[in-house]
Amino acid sequence: MTETRYSTMDLADCESFYHETVVPTMETDGLDPTAETPTYTWLNGQFPGFVKHLQRRFDLSPGQFYDEIGVPEATTTSGSFDFLSVNTQRAIEGYLEELSTRRGRADATIDTRRSILRRYAKVYTNIHDTKDLLAPLENPDERVAEMDRVAATFDALDQLDDALTTLASRRKYVQDTRQFYKHLVMFGNAAYNPLADLEIRFGWDRTPSWDNKALDRTAVQRLYGAASELRDRFIVVACCGWGLRPSEVASLHIRQLNLDPDDDSHPYIEFGDGERKNGPGTVALLAGLETVERRIETLADPEWSGYLLPSPSAATGHLTAETVRRRFKSVAEAADVTVDGDTPTPKTGRRFWYTTYGAAVRRVAERFEDVAAEQGSASAQVVLDNYLSESEARSHRRAEMRETLAGLFVE
């Protein structure tokens, strides 16, 4: 297909092109269109004109385009390890089951670990032409050769996978993969861990410079003011006023909201088992209530699915986390807000919430310093921990936080 042909394609044509041309090419290259989307590097290498057309005509990156057309679609085979030997499949599934049932990891954590191991195993099998990842681990004499095979796999991953773009992400990828091998060693299914000291070999062992940038109050106010659509104002509130992750914002459903509790407590979000990766199962809604109520009023319809960010084209019924990130960044650009020169993301909004909450907790503790002195306690925190019930301490923290956030989300 020529550059001229690309230029005539509307979004529906682009979607057809993806399914009719890109997907078969993915399958030829050993990629699984039912479980993954191609990286920017792969797509640009195969169809550079198509990538340029997405950027010029629709202002979409490949990742944003995948969100728009809802790929990959959820299927029962998505994330499977059926390209591996039966013993290797059982070993990986057994490890993931152990994480879920005995270690109590959230479903989101299991899904992330499954995705990482599947990608690693897929590249390993393609490079080394084997379906069995276990056989070399049984013989200690294979240790050096297997470490070389693993290193070659990570060489390829580093080139192919868009997730490995920072030192921190590379280290996290290695650590998550190493845990699987550690599990095999622990239960006697491997004589050694071939990922031992892999970071040293790649020069990834230095301490990463973690990104701790956060928005401030003025920037959050500007974001909310610049959001021209109620959908985007809701995203700003959910990220900055409630401290939710993009995935939690994207999938938020009305059944999770309790806006009028019977016990006169603050309105809150309640997450079910496996719906939240880390953190408490409930989140108090201390700001932005008018925004969410208006959002619900706008969506209320007999055909409404209940998602606060519905998407009729997505298999899940709601927007993706990537779309939430893109909308947040678009609002930031419209507001001309930056953090250390960069366009802020939902992560910087979430950090605003945590920074603000931490300051509120410290102020509550300061109010009990006199009580601590009278009790002979080492600090006010001791009073909060030992002399107030958890509900009383939580009430003090929430009242302080609510006062701090007051007036932040006002049109």
Predicted confidence (pLDDT) per residue in 257-312, tens digit: 999 887 667 899 998 766 665 456 788 899 999 999 999 999 998 889 999 999 88
How wide is the angle at C-alpha 248 spanned by C-alphas 335 and 267, nearest 5°?
Answer: 90
Q: To the nearest whole percent, how much of the chain has pLDDT over 70?
A: 84
- Label residue 118 exposed, middle or buried (CB < 10 Å: 0-12, 13-18, 19+): buried
Per-residue pLDDT at 4: 45
Tell me which residue has tokens 């302080």: 400
123 within 8 A of 156, measured Cβ to Cβ: yes
**Cα of 149 vs its chain's centroid, Å:** 29
Structure confidence at residue 369 as a pLDDT band (50, 70, 90): low
Task: Pinpoint the residues of the chain covered by CATH 1.10.443.
Answer: 217-405
CA distance to 14, 99, 146, 147, 308, per residue, from 150 (Å): 37, 23, 6, 5, 43
Q: What is the mean pLDDT of residues 5-26?
A: 84
Per-residue pLDDT at 1: 41
**Best-predicted range by mean pLDDT among 44-53, 139-148, 359-368?**
139-148
Q: Residue ranges of the alpha helices (H) in 210-268?
A: 217-226, 230-236, 246-250
403 within 8 A of 357, measured Cβ to Cβ: no
**Best-predicted range by mean pLDDT among 65-79, 199-213, 365-379?**
199-213
Q: To the nearest whole percent, how much of the chain has pLDDT over 90?
A: 34
pTM above 0.85, yes or no: no
**Best-predicted range by mean pLDDT among 148-152, 160-164, 304-308?**
304-308
Identify any residues that bridge with 310 across adjacent strands, giving them in sequence order.
Answer: 318
Tell me which residue has tokens 């950027």: 55
Which pLDDT tens digit goes with each residue over 47-102?
988 988 887 777 677 877 887 777 775 433 346 788 899 999 999 999 999 988 87
How do 282-284 and 268-270 pair as beta strands?
Answer: antiparallel
Q: Which residue would you say has higher pLDDT here, 158 or 151?
A: 151
Q: Which two tokens stand for residue 120?
A: 């690693």
Per-residue pLDDT at 387: 55
Q: Which two tokens stand for residue 332?
A: 């930031």
Per-residue pLDDT at 169: 72
Per-residue pLDDT at 275: 64
Over the chain, what is the mean pLDDT? 82
Domain at 217-405, CATH from 1.10.443, 3.40.50, 1.10.287, 3.30.70: 1.10.443
Half-sphere exposure of 169 (CA within 13 A, CB side): 11
166 within 8 A of 70, measured Cβ to Cβ: no
Per-residue pLDDT at 86: 93
What is d(CA 215, CA 352) in angstroms, rounded to the nearest whole number?
5
67 within 8 A of 326, measured Cβ to Cβ: yes
